[in-house]
Amino acid sequence: MKDVKGTIIKIIAEYLDKEEAEISPTATFSEIGLDSLDIMELVMQMQEELDCKIELSQEITTIDKLVELIEKQ
């Protein structure tokens, strides 16, 4: 299986024009600097790149939680 966390961090880092090392998987999306519109755009890109369906909920607030969700599918 693809490196889900690595792929997500890469997508977010590119989107925010930051280094991947600057993106903490335990920081909340808002701490990283993402709003709900950003997240929707990123989720579409992640679904394409990871070839999966992502159903976001209020509990999914960090990269780590998003990785867990994707890996459970």
Exposure of 35 by Cβ count < 10 A (0-12 exposed, 13-18 middle, 19+ buried)? exposed
Query: Among candidates 46, 13, 64, 32, which has minimal Cα distance to 55?
Result: 46
Catalytic pick among 3, 35, 38, 51: 35
> What is the SS3 assignment for 24?
coil
Q: What is the Cβ-side half-sphere exposure of residue 3, based on CA atoms within 13 angstroms?
A: 5
To the query of whether residue 35 is one of the catalytic residues in this protein, the response is yes
Residues involved in catalysis: 35
